[in-house]
Chains A and B, each alone.
Chain A
Amino acid sequence: MYEYARMKFYCDENRCIECNACTIACAEAHELPVGINRRKVITLNEGIEGKEFSTSIACMHCTDAPCSQVCPVECFYIREDGIVLHDKDKCIGCGYCLYACPFGAPQFPKDGAFGIRGKMDKCTLCAGGPLPTNSIEEFELYGQNRIAEGKVPMCAAVCSTNALIVGDADSVAEIIRARNAAKGKGTSSPYGWDIAYK
C-alpha cells in the first residue's frame, strides 16, 4: 500500500545559531510585507550561561490542527501529507486561529482605516494555497509553491547549520535519533512536538 509522507518541521536547538537566515529567506521568497513574520527565531534565557538556546518557530502543521477546528468559516484544509493550508478568499480575519494556535503562527496585517486585523497569513510549508498551482494569484496571496516544484521549503534550504529540518516524519525522526545518538543522548521528543503531533 502506498503511504503519503507526513510533513513535519524540526528545529535543533543545539545547532541553531540565531543567524535569522530562515526568517529573512522566508520573508524574501514570499515577498511578505513588513510586520508579517511567518517564521521567527527566538532566543531563550539570553545571557544565562549553559541555558541559552535559540529556536526557529513557525506553523508546525499540527495533527488535528486547532486552528482548523475553531475557524468560523472553515477556511482551513489539511493536505494528505499533513500540510495545513487556508483559503484567504474565505478568511474573515477574526483571529480565532491565533487564539487556538499553540505556536503563535497566524499573522495578521493591519487592514484599512480602522487598523483591524486583515486576512490571516501563515507559513504554508512553501506549498501555496488553494488557487491554481504556481499561478501569479497564488504567489501574491500565499507565496511560492516550492513543494509543487519538488524543492525544499525556503527556510530549511538556507539553514547553514542544518538545524532546521523539514520533511517526512520518519526521515526527520531518523535524523533526530542519529544526532542524539552521536551526542550519547537518549531519545527525546523535540520541544513542542507533543502539542503539535499526536
Chain B
Amino acid sequence: MKKLLPFIGTILLANVPLAEPNKAPINSSSALNSPQLVESIPGWHKFGALFVYIQTHWINILFLIVLLAIPTIFFLHYKVIGPKVFSHKGKKFLIFPPWQRVVHWIAAAGFILLVPTGFLIIYAKFFGGGSFIVFARYLHLIGAILFAIAFIPMTLMWFKEMLPQIWDIKWLLMLGGYLSKEKKEIPAAKFNAGQKMWYWIIVFGGFLMLLTGLLLYLRDFNIALLSTFNLNNLFGIDILRISIIVHLLLAVIIVTFFFTHLYMSIFAIKGAIASMIDGYKSEDELKHLHSIFYKKLINKEEKF
C-alpha cells in the first residue's frame, strides 16, 4: 500500500483544476465555449434558422392537432362504429408472461410521465411557466429514465414476433377491420400490423428520442465522437439544433401512436387492457383479432 501512495497522489493531483488567474474558464473540449462558438456563427442560417422557423410556425399547431383532432376522431369512431366487444368467458390463453408485463408497465409509466409533461413544456405559456413547468421538466427526465430502463428488454422480448409478415399488408388494407362493426377473422399473428407499427416506432423513434434527449440534457459535450464520424463541419450547437428538431417532430408521431394505443386498449376493444394486467386473452378475442396466432395455438394443443 505504501508503494502505491505516490501513484494515488499523482492521480488525485491530476484531477485538481489549476486556476489560471488571468483567464476566463474557456474549455477546449466545450462546444459552446471555444473557437467553435465563433466559427459556427455564419452556419446559423442552416439549422438555427430552421429551428426558429419550425418552432415559430409549426410546433404549437402540430401538437394542437394531435391533442384535439386525434381524440375527436376516436370519439366519433366510438360513437358511430362503436367498440368491439368480445366474450371474456370460456377458455383463456396466457399471452404475456409476468416479466413481459413488468417491462411493458415500466415503459408505460415512463410514457405516462413523458407525454403530459412534454405537452406542459410545449404549451408552457398557457400554464404560466415558472417553477411549475420546471417541475414538469424534472418529471420528463424521470419518465425518460423509466422508458430507457424498459427500452432494451422491450425491444428484445418482442423482436421476433414483431417482424413484418405477409398478412400484415392485408391487415393494413382493411385497417384491422376497425371501420365496421362486423365480427370476422382478422389476419394477424401474435401482434397485428398496427401493433407492429407502434413497436417499430418505439424501437427506432424511441431510440432517437432517448439519444436526442440525452444530447439536449448534456448540452455541452465533448464532440470527439463527431470527428470519428467525419462530421467535422457540424458544430456542437448544430447537433443540439438537429436534436431539438428531431425530438419535437418525432414526438408528434410518437404521441399520435401513443393516443391510438391508449384508445385501442382501453376503449375500442372492450377489456383488451386485461391481457396486459393478468396476461390472459380470451378465446373469442384471439379467434377474431389474432386468427393466425389462434390457429397455431389450437394446432399446438391438438398435437399434445
Contact = CB atoms under 8 A, between A and B. Distances in A.
A112 B217 CA distance: 14
Interface residues of A, number: 48
A44 B240 contact: no
Contacts of A192: 41
Given A73-B124, A74-B125, A103 B41 contact: yes
B129 A92 contact: yes
Contacts of B48: 66, 99-102
Name the prevailing secondary structure of the B interface residues.
helix
Contacts of B40: 104
Interface centre among A27, A94, A104 (most CB of B within 10 A): A104
Contact of A98 (B56, B141, B240): B240
B138 A114 contact: yes
Contacts of B133: 73, 92
Interface string A22-60: 011001000000110100111110100000000101000
A142 interface: no
Interface in A57-97: 57, 66, 69-70, 72-75, 89-96
B141 A102 contact: no
A103 B43 CA distance: 11
A72 B124 contact: yes
Contacts of B39: 44
A9 interface: no
Nearest to A114: B141
Interface string B117-151: 00001111100011001100110010000000000
Nearest to A19: B22
A92 B241 contact: no
B25 A102 contact: no
A91 B35 contact: no
Contacts of A35: 25
B38 interface: yes
A161 B245 CA distance: 42
A27 B33 CA distance: 15
Contacts of A103: 37, 41
Contact of A69 (B41, B56, B137, B138): B56
- Which 9 residue pairs spanning A and B have beta carbons closest together? A73-B129, A102-B44, A23-B24, A92-B133, A90-B129, A70-B55, A72-B124, A73-B124, A104-B37
Interface of B: 22-26, 32-35, 37-42, 44-45, 48, 51-52, 55-56, 121-125, 129-130, 133-134, 137-138, 141, 216-217, 219, 237, 240-241, 244
30 contacts: A20-B24, A24-B24, A37-B33, A41-B26, A42-B34, A44-B38, A66-B48, A70-B51, A70-B56, A72-B121, A72-B123, A72-B124, A72-B129, A73-B130, A74-B125, A89-B130, A90-B129, A92-B137, A93-B137, A94-B121, A95-B219, A96-B244, A99-B48, A99-B241, A103-B41, A104-B40, A104-B237, A116-B138, A119-B134, A195-B45
